[in-house]
Amino acid sequence: MPGFELFSDLERKEVNDVLDNGVLMRYGFDGMRKGHWKAKELESELAKTFGSSHVQLVSSGTAAVSVALASAGVGAGDEVIMPTFTFVASFEAIMMLGAIPILVDIDDTLTLDPKAVEAAITPKTKAVMVVQMCGSMGDMDALRKVCDTHNLIFVEDACQAIGGTYKGKPLGSIADIGCFSFDFVKTITCGEGGAVVTNNKDYYINADHYSDHGHDHEGNDRGAETHPFLGYNFRISELHAAVGLAQVRRLPEFIAIQKRNYTILRNALAQVPGVTFRKVPEGGEESYAFLNFFMPDAESGLKVAEAFKTNGIDVCWNYYHNNWHYIRKWDHLKELKSLFPISKEVKKGLDYLKTKTFEQSDDYISRNMSCLIKLSWTEDEVKARAEKMVNCIKEVSIL
């Protein structure tokens, strides 16, 4: 991760196909495109990769979350339970629909704590969204049980976890509806792009229509299509899809490299007293896009982060003070800083953030280091990095 590190002639060929026929839009212009339908091809490849019945490409991972929720009937005033540790896009996508994000604690999987989810359910709760952060998963069986017990829509945001599996099923394909991102820094990239994945035909049809202004996509005359319901423009372009088509075919290659690099680092860190690793639920296998480990306490966690920074160990973060991925610094959400007026219902629904604390999440995030696994590293570079990381941690532990 990210896939752009290994761009090759495979990606260039797919892009040149699009440029040669000149059709950059995924719909229409049948006569011009000479049989090239990159978005359709990519959807087919992704369906095979995920073992899912339906895939709808969209313009981003953020769009995928909004389209997925809308397709399942989530809208104004509905509450959607989500984790404290994610990307800001999670609550942005929920609020765009007029729904209310309800943040709850994570556990040692670094994803939703099923007990916290259960405790947060109210009569307004419509969906639970697990975010498979940093390449791994939550306790999917426990979360599914909660959703089934309370008749809630189970949404899976696997934007950072393509290639991971749980009990033999690809992450993103396990819940009622799943979401992926193919932005510039994902394991497979389109530059910008995303996908909605589901086995529910109704959700798929809704996603197909909603993401393209409500077009029903029936017949061959785009101008004659009807509009069963309102929609927006979340289309992916053929150029973006072309890059992704080459990349998804290389996913096994990318995962193998990530696993090699991840394993070298993990084996080295496992020998350091006090270092522990995120929990991967039984039956799960990470995508190896990130290595996540814990220090014994917050003080040592923050010291290790500083030591890594001082010693030039890049792409390795402690998220405690990060304003993109963790609740502590989401002041724009807490203070409702918006260019457009936010409805009274959403304002009231977010009142809890003025006083709510997340001690359990603070404990895990303050002790955690999350290290991106690069595809471009050589084996020797990974071994040298591992030695440097171990030395930094040992030095902090002595201080």
What residues are labeled active site? 186
Closest CA to 197 of 26, 52, 45, 63: 52
Burial of 17 (0-12, 13-18, 19+ CB in 10 A): middle
**Neighbouring residues of 43: CB distance < 8 A, sequence distance ≥ 6:** 55, 56, 57, 195
Report whether 261 contacts 377 (CB < 8 A): yes
Contact 373, 289 (CB under 8 A): yes
Task: Give me the phi and psi of 169, to 5 degrees please.
Answer: -105, 135
**Pair 396, 272: CB distance under 8 Å:** no
Based on C-alpha coordinates, what's the Rg of the chain?
21
What is the distance between the alpha carbons of residues 351 and 342, in angstroms, rounded to a whole number? 13
Residues facing 370 on adjacent strands: 292, 317
Q: What is residue 123's DSSP assignment? A: T
Q: What angle do CA 10, 375, 250 make, to 5 degrees?
A: 35
The pairing of beta strand 177-181 with beta strand 284-285: unpaired
Question: Distance between CA atoms of 191 and 208, rounded to whole angstroms?
Answer: 21
**Residue from 174, 228, 198 nearest 72 by CA:** 198
Any long-range contacts for 41-48 (C-beta under 8 Å, 24+ apart)?
A: 41/241, 41/245, 42/241, 42/244, 42/245, 42/248, 43/195, 45/245, 45/248, 45/249, 46/180, 46/195, 46/197, 46/248, 47/197
